[in-house]
Every structure is written in C-alpha cells, then in structure tokens.
Structure 1
Amino acid sequence: MSTTVVIRPGKLAGAVTPPPSKSQAHRLIIAAALARGESRLENVDLSQDIRATLSCMEALGARWSLKDRTLTVGGLGGAAQLAGRLPRFDCGESGSTLRFLIPIALAAAGGGVFTGHGRLMQRPQKPYFDLFHRKGIFWEQRDGGLTVKGRLTPGEYALPGDVSSQFITGLLYALPLVEGESAVTLTTPLESRDYVSMTLQALDQFGVSVQETASGYRLSGPQAYVGTDGAVETDWSQAAFWYGANLLGGQVEILNLNRSSAQGDMRVVPYSRQLARPGDVALDVSQCPDLVPPLAAMAAVRTGECRLVNAARLRLKESDRLATVTQTLRTLGAAVEEGADSLTFHGLPALEGGAAVDCCNDHRIAMMAAVAACACRRPVTLLGAECVNKSYPGFWEDYRQLGGDLDVLISG
C-alpha cells in the first residue's frame, strides 16, 4: 500500500506523547529474549523495526505476547534449541536488528541466514567481516542474503568506533554467552557513544556485567541474562520533530520525556535553543546522527547560517540522508548545500512549498518534510509517506491532532 499525504501549511499546537524509544526497545527485547525466565516490558509499540527484532528473537526460540502495550517475553536462556539447523532471520529494514543479531546468532545458534528489505542488505558489515576473517568464522553474502556459520570464541575483538556503534552493541550482547575472558577494543574514537551507554544500561538491568576500559570494554563469560520487568522510555529522536515544529512557530507540548535519559538525542534541547537565536552556528552531529533531519528543518527557516558537521555516517542510513535531506528541502525552497560530511543552510524566513517530494522510503525524511511544511507558503505533497511506519506508525494521526491540515490518500 502506498500513502500520499497532502499538507496545507499551518502552525501546530497541542500536547503529544512521542512513541517509545525504538533504540531502547530493541535492547530490552533482545536481553529479555536471551534471559532465563519471563520478562515484562511496558510502553512497547509494534513499529516495523520492533516487529523485526521480535521476529528474529522468535526464530531463536524466544516467545512473546503483547497486551495493552505491555510485552511479555519468554526467554531462551542464552542458547537456542534448533535441532542443528541454522535459523533464518528476516530483519526487515532494521539496521539495529541485523547488526545486533549477527554475533548473537553465532553465540546462541552457531550462525544464521539473514535477509532484509530496502537498502538494508547493502549497508556495510565490513567490521564484522574483518573480525570473522581473523576468527575463522564463515560468512557469505549473495542474492540479497547473508549467511554466517561458526561459534564465537573468547578473546579480543578490535573494531573501529566511527563506523557504527551497532557493531559494538552486537558483540556486547553476544560475548557474555561465550565461556572465557573477552575484550572489545576500539581502534578509532567512538561516535554515537550514548547508544553504547544505552546498551550497557540494558545489560546491567538484565544482570550482565561489562567493564569499561580506556580502550573499550572487557567482560567474562558465560554470564546468565536474568529475566526482569521494565519500561521503554519515550523516544527523544521522535520528540525532536515536535521541537522542530515549535521552532517553526508551533506551540506543541511534548509529554513524558525522561530528562535524565541515556538517549543521546536529548541534544535536541540545547541544539534547538541555539537554532532559535539568530546568527551563524555549527552543530556537531557525530554523537546524534538521527537528529539531522529535524535539525535540518529548523536550520532551513531561521536567520543566519547553520552547518551540521561530522555527518558522513548519514550516507549509510535508510537513504543517503545527506543527499535526501538536501534534495527534499531544496524542493521546498530551502537554501542548502551538501558537503562530503556536512550540510550548510542559509536560513530563510519561509519556504515556498507548492511541490511534491519523494520520501525516499526513509521515515525521518518524511517526518522532516512534514515539519518543514509548517513553514511553507503553499501546500506540500509527500509521496511514499507510509514509511513513517518504520518507527512512528501514529505520526500522521498525531500531526492531525496537533492541528495539522492534511489529507492522507492510500492507494494500491
């Protein structure tokens, strides 16, 4: 089914609770699925990415049910029971699911066959492949799928810290299942450090101990994940779009945010304050790449130049976000220049709009365009707007309840 959304410009106002943190939900669900016993997780929404993680943990032998947004997970105790066959994992379009599960499958089941949709299987896995070459683990990538076979062994795992923290998280989940001492050593400075902090927080919640060191992380195994109860926080990365609507003249009250969260996208608070003031500004997004689309909507409509820097990893997301942010906002009339690892905005008082934009099968591009439409002079048409289901299935409903004047047209 394809969705086209037509937005007539106007300011948003009212109260909204963003969806649960997808990043935290992935981590808690995986820990619960690896644990002994049963866990209950409150405030869970079944976005497409979370469905993918649940499906993959089910493929390992975990069981789950959802009632009134409370997820009950029956864990597999760290070892899959699969009668010698390799499990198959459909990761949808979720990069977190794929990268977290690759080493977990090796530790729990001796490997697996991974598939995905969209750009997922084109996204780089080289840090893992380099490790597998050194550790004697078989891998083969062809026909849109990836097969890995072997067992993780204890020892040192050296990874770059500036490609994706998801590789680090995957190993931190898997190595506690392996008998012996292990270390995850970073060969370059760590970006998206807060995502690893979320991982360590989830591991500790489920009884797994990891020691931070000057060069990375040390841990021993085997350790037992222990089932527990918890709740998923509201998502700061999704809240950032409503911060964007406010900077563009809205009056949206954003509810149920944890001001002491480990989520790195809390940076939207100081960054949006900087953008609310006139003048030139440069914002380092190396630790919060998911904030680039909402920050871009804010930067396009203000007084002064704004540079979003250290953003090269945006090229490896659901779309090449440096290119698609530029393309989308230019179509709406923004003055933006794309660099190799940056975006430069020359702020304007308003955008022209009056155009159709392709959401590029990227949920954050769709939500960015919807926020930018608030500052347009003429209506904006979004093609492929169903992509918000990846992380925020209720986005269009929330947009309308905040006073957004839009038509949602479903076809096919």
Structure 2
Amino acid sequence: MNVTITPSLLHGAVTPPPSKSQAHRLLLAAALADGTSHLSNVAFSQDIQATVRCLEALGAAVRQEGDQLAVTGLAGRTASGGALPRLDCGESGSTLRFLIPVALAVRGGGVFTGHGRLMERPQEPYFAIFREKGIAYEQQDGALTVRGQLTPGVYTLPGNVSSQFVTGLLYALPLLHGDSEIRLTTPLESADYVRMTMDALSAFGVAAEYDGDRTFRVPGNQTGHAAPMTVEADWSNAAFWYAAAYLDSTLDIQGLNYQSAQGDACIGMLYWTIARPGEAEIDVSGCPDLVPPLAAMAALRGAGRITRLVNAARLRIKESDRLSTVTEVLNALGAEVEEYADHLVITGKDSLPGGVAVSGHNDHRIAMMAAIAATNCAAPVTVTGAECVRKSYPTFWDEYARLGGQISISQ
C-alpha cells in the first residue's frame, strides 16, 4: 500500500493506541497466572497478535471480547517431553525474547520462527547462558530451536544489549523450584522497560527485587493470580503526535498516564530539549524507539540548529537499520542528517522540499516519521509500503486523515 500525503498541518484531539510494551507484559503475566484475567483496552496490532498466538501454543487460553482479552493462565503447570511447541513470533522482538526462557520453563523448549529481520536479531546473551547451563540450542533455516530445563541459580548477562533479555528471565525464573539471581555484567540500559515488567509481575502477585544497580533477586515457586488490568495509552506512538505538534500542528494529545513506567514518556521532557535554542545532545540509550520522531523534530528545528542523537547503536537491529533508514528517508525529503556508527547529527532547516517517494522500509516507525515530517514539506510525499504501521498502530492512517491530513491511498 502506498500513501501520498499532500502537506498540511493537523488539528484536533487524538488518543494514542494502547501501549504495546505494556500489553505484551500483562498478557504474559496473565498467561502464567492462576485463573482468568480480563485485560481491557488492548490494540490487536500484529505484534500483540504474535504474543497471543505464542501463548496459546504454550497452553494458555486467550479469548477476545471486544477490546478485551480473557486470558486463562497456566497456573504454574509445566510439561516436558513430546514435540516442542512451534512459536511464530511474527516480527516482534519482544515476543521472541520474552518467550525463549518462558518456553524452556513451561514446556522444556520450543521452535521459534519469525518474519522480516526478526531472526537476524542477536540472541547471544541467552546463548551464553545456555552454554553454561547445558541447554541445547540450534539456529538454522530461519528457526531457533531451544531444548532443556532451566534450573534455579545465578544467571549472568550484559545489561547494555537489550532489557528484553532481563524481562524474559524475570518471567521464567519465578516458575522454577528454587530461588535465582540475575546479575548484570554491565549497567542496565532501558531500565524503565524493566520497571514496567516488574510492575506487571507485581500486579499479578509475583515478587522480584532489584537493587537498583546490577542484581535482581527472584524467589522461586511462585504462581501469579488472575487480575483485571487496563492497558495504558502508548507513549512510543504518542511521540509522533508530539513531533507533529512541535512542527506546528495543533493537537490535543489525550489519555496518557503522566506517571507511567513507560520509558518513552520522556518525550515530554525531550520535546523541550529540542525546543530550546542552541545545540542539543540527547542520549537515546534508554529510549531508542524515540529516535524517528526526535529526528523528524530535529530536521525541522530551524536553520542551522544542530542536534545529536547519541548512544544509538541498538537501532541497527530493529525492524530496519534505523540509523540508516532515518538518514535515508529524511535526507530524501531534503533534510541534512549525517549517519555515524552509533549516532546521528542533524542540522535543522525551516522546511523541507519533499516532492519524492520514500520507502517505509517495512518499519512502522520509519513510515510514521515520514508522515509527520511531510506536514512541513513543500510538495507531496509518497510513503511506499505504508501498511507496515499495522505492526504497532493499525489505525495510524485513519487518525492522520481524521486530524486533517490530506492523503490518498493506492496499491
């Protein structure tokens, strides 16, 4: 699907979709708990559908009721032997990394598959643990097979690769018959995402302790209890509307929890960092998903104003190589973005010429970035492969049009 945007500013009230990050975590906690939990305000994006599909393959029951999900959990039941479950994770890195240790804990392993670039994403922090613990793994023909039993004990891994590895262990280790520790060999990045995980576990009655530095203590023999939960609005996607507002659209962004544990809630603070005169440097190690909207803001920050988005190396292993695709797309629109190994340097302009077609690169955040930047272009912009927004924000183009965006859609 291709979307052609005739530049115009946006106006009106908009509520971002439910948080994908929180929904993943609540779904997983509910699926491991005892009883039936009712989760409200769930957006059935492709990533959430992948998590539901995999939880059902592990033995949980998930029933859709409008915008709610009724999740009947495993209640601590485990099974080993027999055929390993096949877990199609779609293009969801959260689904894959959260469920690798969980599948080992509840089913003795699994066969994981995915689409796009998912199976290229590094899993070495898990593989190092598997070699130490005697767990078999094999990655071949686009599938990762893991087989074995997790045992209580000490689990050591780096904290600066992805917090998703810590989250996966925080879900799996409480199920074991003994206490465990997670020890980080490097400082924890994206700590807010781990806090979101611990909040989700706590809501279902599962305890874990973090010393605030490099150690998590996880008691074993824990079974969560059913709980009714409502998914918050998503700050990661709200950031694109913040970017549109920065670029002179008149938007009332509603429904957000300003005390949220979501790490990307920092967009409110970073908005003002970008708005201040002079050079700006933003460390995005804790909020890598904000780079596309921040880059759109920086590109149109005003003639000659320089913005550096630093500590961004992890963006190379997202749905696309986002350091490369952010640079390619914004420069095609007429921006001035310089790409380096782990950061971007963006020299602002007052407006962009546009008048080109750019690829969404099968990356939801790149397509949305292009759409927001197009509001300040002089000539129409076409985003090809624009259906990729379905990964996290299925209604994005509908909302864009409702807010006054002038778009035409072609196949």
Shorter-chain TM range is: over 0.9
Report the 3-state secondary structure (helix = DSSP H, G, I; strand = E; otherwise coil) of the residue aligned with 1:274.
helix
CA contact (8 A) 1:60 1:82 kept: no
Q: How many residues align?
A: 408
1:36 lines up with 2:13 in the alignment: no
- 1:185-216 Cα shifts (integer Å, max 9, x gaps): 01001110000000000010111100112422
Q: Deviations over 1:65-102 (max 9, x none)?
A: 12221111111113245772211100000000000000
| Counterpart residue number, 2:182 | 184
Question: Which residue matches 2:218?
Answer: 219
Alpha carbons 1:60, 1:81 under 8 Å: kept = no
Alpha carbons 1:33, 1:73 under 8 Å: kept? yes
The AA in structure 1 aligned to 2:407 is L
Q: d(CA) in 2 for partners of 1:380 and 1:106?
A: 47
The C-alpha deviation readout for 1:270-313, integer Å capped at 9, x for no partner, is 11112123321101111100000000000000121000111111
3-state SS in 1 of match to 2:356: strand
User: Paired residue for 1:408?
Assistant: 409
Match of 1:85 in 2: 83
Relative to the length of structure 1, the TM-score reads: 0.98
Match of 2:368 in 1: 367
Show the counterpart of 2:195. Answer: 197
Q: Which runs of 5+ in 1 are unaligned?
A: none
Structure 1 partner of 2:355: 354
TM-aligned CA distance change 1:338 to 1:367, over 3 Å? same
* Contact 1:244/1:371 (8 A) holds in 2: yes
What SS does the aligned partner of 1:106 have?
Answer: helix
Aligned 1:103-142 pairs, distance under 5 A: 103-142=101-140
Give the Cα separation in 2 of the matches to 1:82 and 1:72: 26
User: Structure 1: how far apart are the matches of 2:398 and 2:221?
Assistant: 46
- Secondary structure, aligned partner of 1:180: coil
| Cα-to-partner distance string for 1:142-185 (whole Å, 9 max, x where unaligned) | 00000000000011111101100000000000000001111000
Residues 208 and 223 in structure 1, CA contact (< 8 A), matched pair in contact too: yes
Deviation of 1:18 (Å): 0.6
Letter in 2 for 1:104: V
- Residue 179 of structure 2 aligns to a residue whose secondary structure is strand
Partner of 1:95: 93
Query: How much is the aligned-residue C-alpha RMSD, in angstroms?
Result: 0.9
Aligned position for 1:256: 255
Residue equivalent to 2:148: 150
Q: Return the offset for 1:219.
A: 1.1
Structure 1 CA distance for aligned equivalents of residues 26 and 120 of structure 2: 26
Q: Is the 8 Å Cα contact of residues 2 and 382 (structure 2) preserved in structure 1?
A: yes
Q: Provide the rounded CA distance (Å) in 2 between the counterparts of 1:21 and 1:45.
A: 8
What is the DSSP-based 3-state SS (H/G/I as helix, E as strand, rest coil) of the residue aligned with 1:221? coil
Q: What is the rounded CA distance, in whole Å, between the counterparts of 1:66 and 1:328 in structure 2?
A: 38
TM-score by length of 2: 0.98
Shift in Å, 1:316: 0.9
What SS does structure 2 have at the residue aligned with 1:290? helix
In 1, Cα distance between the equivalents of 2:30 and 2:383?
A: 38
Query: Contact 2:235–2:264 at 8 Å: present in 1 too?
Result: yes
For 1:80 and 1:219, the matched residues in 2 are separated by 19
State the Cα distance separating 1:340 from its structure 2 match.
1.0
Q: Name 1:311's counterpart in structure 2.
A: 312
Alignment of 1:221-300 (within 5 A): 221-300=220-299
Checking the alignment, whether the CA contact within 8 Å between 1:61 and 1:81 is kept in structure 2 is: no
Residue 220 of structure 1, CA deviation: 1.4
- Worse-matched range after superposition: 32-41 or 78-87: 78-87
- CA–CA separation in structure 1 for the residues paired with 2:39 and 2:178: 31
**What's 1:64 paired with?**
62
C-alpha offsets along residues 297-348 of structure 1, whole Å, 9 cap, x if unaligned?
0000012100011111111100000000000000000001011111111000
| Cα contact 1:278–1:302 (8 A) shared by 2 | no
SS in 2 for 1:209: coil
Asked if the contact 2:360/2:383 (under 8 Å) is kept, the reply is yes
CA displacement, residues 367-388 of structure 1 (integer Å, 9 cap, x when unaligned) = 0000000110000000100000
2:397 is aligned to 396
- Once residues 104 and 16 of structure 1 are traced to their aligned partners in structure 2, the CA distance between those partners, rounded to angstroms, is 36
CA distance in 2: counterparts of 1:373 and 1:63, whole angstroms: 43
Three-state SS of the structure 2 residue aligned to 1:112 is strand
Asked if residue 378 in structure 1 is aligned to residue 376 in structure 2, the reply is: no
Instruction: For 2:408, give the aligned amino acid.
Output: D
Measure the CA separation in 2 of the matches of 1:28 and 1:112. 21
Helix, strand or coil for the counterpart of 1:130?
Answer: helix
* Matched residue, 2:168: 170
The separation in 1 between residues aligned to 2:235 and 2:19, in whole angstroms, is 7
State how far apart, in whole Å, the 2-side matches of 1:78 and 1:314 are: 36
Contact 1:61 / 1:80 at 8 angstroms: preserved in 2? no
Letter in 1 for 2:44: L
Q: Distance in 2 between matches of 1:82 and 1:47?
A: 31
CA–CA separation in structure 2 for the residues paired with 1:216 and 1:98: 23
Query: CA separation in 1, counterparts of 2:186 and 2:151?
Result: 23
> Does the 8 A contact of 2:81 with 2:108 survive in 1?
no
Aligned to 1:4: 2
Measure the CA separation in 2 of the matches of 1:348 and 1:215: 42
